[in-house]
């Protein structure tokens, strides 16, 4: 069906053997110049296209990387887009696989040898996936989150420092009654950003009112609904809100807008990630910049090393973050 024409057909047309065709078309230097020319001509004439399936089986490699992403989290598109380009430069293709931090469904495609490596960006702290992949010797890198047992390479942001930086922004702006819309504690990003945030407040001697803290997923609706709750009049509302990521912050921001809560006048908001939209004038979100490009770059580098055969314990690359002051933090 696919490649009706095989290398055997080309071989016959060119009057050589199949192996010679294979070598010639892949540019092996051992084939005579004239022979190559003849083979190339024959291949062109026959409209020959090598079978990827056969090549994959024969070479034991597929030049394909799987990325496990959380499709609920808008962040994935940012990561995937750039990753695609990075991999394309290395002649790899990208296959998408959905994964939620909670559901531990292991896509069989990850173990069947249909891919050369995996990039995990949705793992929970106690995820079992990493261990499985490792046992099966599937080259794997953790992208944005890490797990408890540090057996795998990981490329992450300095979430703790970022959480602290975020708190500092609000403190510097004079806020004392600060709320927090946090991400899941079973993710390193959720946990560390929270830890950094709390630490900074504690260092400043500010007590965090737990009534102003909301746990939720890393998405728009968490921010949206939390603001509804915090401003329902049942308790005294915060003057500032730390959000564990920009999506949450956008949700908060928009709900505040709907409720007529002035930002940052009545409510300051800081996010985390520095998504593209954060810089839009209409939103102008103060946030913490996460260097996704750098993170992706080292993730890919480490993955390639693993594919090339590097062994040994996991390496953890932590990328620095920095605050970006725009309009929503007050001051």
- Contact region with DNA (CB under 7 A), list: 10-18, 141-149, 184-192, 245-253: 10-18
Residue 327 interacts with which of DNA, a second copy, none, CB < 5 to 8 Å by class: none
Q: Which is nearer to DNA, 60 or 205 (CB)?
A: 60
Within positions 45 to 64, which residues make up the interface with DNA, using CB under 7 A? 48, 50-51, 53-55, 57-60
Cis preceding-peptide flag for 308 (omega within 30 of 0)? no
> What span, in angstroms and rounded, lies between the C-alpha atoms of 180 and 167?
10
Give CA 146 to chain center in angstroms.
Answer: 11
Q: Does 33 bind DNA (CB under 7 A)?
A: yes
Secondary structure of 279-292 as H, E, C letters:
HCCCCCCEEEECCH
**Is residue 293 a contact partner of residue 274, using CB atoms and an 8 Å limit?**
no
Q: Residue 122, interface with a second copy (CB under 8 A)?
A: no
Q: Which is nearer to a second copy, 165 or 227 (CB)?
A: 227
First and final CA of the chain: distance in angstroms?
67
Helices (H), the chain: 7-14, 18-25, 33-46, 52-59, 75-89, 129-135, 159-172, 188-203, 220-230, 246-259, 292-307
Tell me which residue has tokens 């985390």.
272
Strands (E), 29-170: 64-69, 93-98, 117-120, 140-142, 153-157
* Binding to a second copy in span 127-156, by CB under 8 A: 136-137
* C-alpha–C-alpha distance, residues 150 and 20, integer Å: 47
Q: Residue 106 Cβ, how far from DNA at the closest point, in Å?
A: 18
The CB-of-63 to DNA minimum distance in angstroms stands at 11
Q: Based on CB atoms, which residue is closest to a second copy, 8 or 280? A: 280
**Of these partners, a second copy, DNA, none, which one is at the site of residue 205 (CB under 5 to 8 Å by kind)?**
none
Nearer to DNA, 9 or 331 (CB): 9
- Burial (Cβ within 10 Å: 0-12, 13-18, ≥19) of residue 116: buried
| Residue 280 is a binding residue for a second copy (CB under 8 A) | yes
Give the integer Cα–Cα distance in Å for 74 and 64.
Answer: 23
Residue from the set 13, 31, 240, 275 that interacts with DNA by CB under 7 A:
31
Q: Which is nearer to DNA, 48 or 92 (CB)?
A: 48
Distance CA 237, CA 58 (A): 64
Task: Pull the structure tokens for residue 17.
Answer: 């053997």
CA angle at residue 282 from 284 to 294, to 5 degrees? 45
Question: Considering the rule CB under 7 A, would residue 22 count as an interface residue with DNA?
Answer: yes
Q: According to CB under 8 A, which residues from 24 to 83 bind a second copy?
A: 49-57, 60, 62, 64, 71, 74, 76-77, 80-81
Task: Please work out the total of residues on this chain that contact DNA, with binding judged by CB under 7 A.
Answer: 32
Query: Does residue 221 interact with a second copy by CB under 8 A?
Result: no
Taking the complex as a whole, the smallest distance from the CB of residue 152 to a second copy amounts, in Å, to: 18
Binding site for a second copy (CB under 8 A): 1-3, 49-57, 60, 62, 64, 71, 74, 76-77, 80-81, 84-85, 88, 93-98, 108-109, 111-114, 136-137, 250, 253-255, 257-258, 277, 280-283
């Amino acid at each position: 069906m696919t490649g009706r024409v095989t290398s055997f057909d080309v071989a016959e047309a060119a009057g050589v053997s199949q192996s010679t065709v294979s070598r010639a078309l892949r540019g092996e230097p051992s084939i005579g110049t004239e022979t190559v020319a003849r083979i190339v001509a024959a291949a062109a004439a026959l409209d020959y296209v090598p079978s990827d399936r056969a090549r994959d089986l024969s070479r034991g490699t597929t030049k394909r990387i799987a990325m496990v992403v959380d499709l609920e989290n808008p962040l994935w598109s940012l990561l995937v887009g750039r990753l695609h380009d990075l991999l394309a430069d290395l002649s790899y293709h990208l296959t998408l696989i959905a994964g939620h931090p909670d559901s531990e469904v292991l896509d069989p495609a990850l173990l069947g040898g249909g891919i050369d490596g995996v990039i995990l960006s949705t793992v929970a702290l106690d995820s079992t996936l990493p261990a499985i992949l490792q046992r099966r010797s599937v080259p794997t890198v953790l992208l944005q989150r890490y797990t408890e047992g540090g057996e795998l390479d990981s490329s992450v942001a300095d979430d703790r420092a970022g959480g602290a930086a975020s708190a500092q922004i609000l403190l510097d702006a004079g806020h004392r009654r600060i709320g927090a819309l946090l991400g899941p504690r079973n993710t390193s990003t959720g946990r560390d950003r929270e830890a950094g945030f709390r630490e900074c407040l504690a260092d400043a001697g500010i007590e965090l009112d737990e009534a102003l803290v909301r746990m939720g997923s890393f998405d728009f609706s968490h921010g949206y609904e939390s603001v509804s709750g915090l401003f329902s009049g049942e308790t005294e509302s915060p003057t500032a809100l730390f959000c564990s990521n920009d999506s949450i912050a956008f949700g908060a921001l928009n709900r505040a807008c709907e409720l007529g809560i002035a930002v940052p006048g009545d409510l300051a908001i800081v996010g985390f990630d520095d998504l593209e939209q954060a810089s839009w004038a209409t939103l102008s979100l103060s946030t913490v910049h996460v260097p996704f490009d750098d993170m992706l770059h080292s993730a890919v580098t480490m993955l390639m090393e693993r594919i090339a055969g590097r062994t040994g314990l996991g390496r953890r690359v932590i990328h620095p973050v920095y605050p970006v002051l725009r309009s929503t933090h007050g001051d």
